[in-house]
Amino acid sequence: MTQPPVLRLRGIDKSFGPVQVLHDVALTAHAGEVTALVGDNGAGKSTLVKCIGGIHTADGGEYLFEDRPVQVHSPRDAAALGVEIVYQDLALCDNLDIVQNMFLGRELRRGLVLDEATMEEKAAATLKALSVRTVTSLRQKVASLSGGQRQTVAIAKAVLWNSRLVILDEPTAALGVAQTAQVLELVRRLADNGLAVILISHNMNDVFAVSDQIAALHLGRMAAQVRTCDVTHAQVVELITSGRSGDLGLDPNSKGAAL
């Protein structure tokens, strides 16, 4: 890689009281790539993402964004860098239409009134740039959308704001086969448009379908971050479950490795 990663984490630690959840975690995410973040329940994925997004502040370690050290103490700090997170609950309002949802809390105004025309124009341009064809009207209420369409709106909302890094939390978890394929195509398109994408997923088929790199967490430690083309499904499952696969993964003598 000649370009530095958009995100580089080194030595990230995070504890809640006496419980240390993250131990010396390293992670990189490059522009134009999808990095899949995988791990069992309780491995620390959510805590790590909340540290990236400024919901939690790491106890130690380095957070570099586009090769410069930064301090992220709030979601506002993360958003200012260009970090957007699409959580599993999507945070959409059913009673509002697509445009209203995409600009919720960041509405554009012309004097004292909302600039509806500009917001609709920007929303349409964002969806067009992502080659979204499943939405028929920008004025549809979100309540009337399918699961896949909702996920599309949430992702489009995230990339509307000059994002550099988009983190997607289980974007296909509640979707059928056709909708899953549409969302994965959109995830790939985000990276192809030059964004750095971190995809959190339990679905190995999804991970291998769209990711360029896989970062496997095990008991709060980064077991390995590898090119997707260099590993098999079985190796990734071993990294997730035991922290090690052959010569790959955690030092067997470390506290994080399975006994």
Give residue limits of the domains in the chain: 1-82+163-259, 92-162
| Closest of 96, 94, 90, 70 to residue 82, by C-alpha | 70
Residue with token string 């995830």? 187
Dihedrals φ, ψ of 207, to 5°? -60, -50
Residue 258 has pLDDT above 70, yes or no: no
Q: pLDDT tens across 5-58, in order?
A: 999 999 999 999 999 999 999 999 999 999 999 999 999 999 999 999 999 999
- Give the type of residue at 189: R
Pick the CATH number of 1-82+163-259 from 3.40.50.1860, 3.40.47.10, 1.20.120.1200, 3.40.50.300: 3.40.50.300
pTM score of the predicted model: 0.91
Cα-to-chain-centroid distance, residue 154:
12
Q: Could you tell me if 220 and 256 are in contact, meaning their C-beta atoms sit under 8 angstroms apart?
A: yes
Label residue 255 by pLDDT band (50, 70, 90). Answer: low
Report the alpha-carbon distance of residue 204 to residue 98 in Å, rounded.
Answer: 31
SS3 97: strand
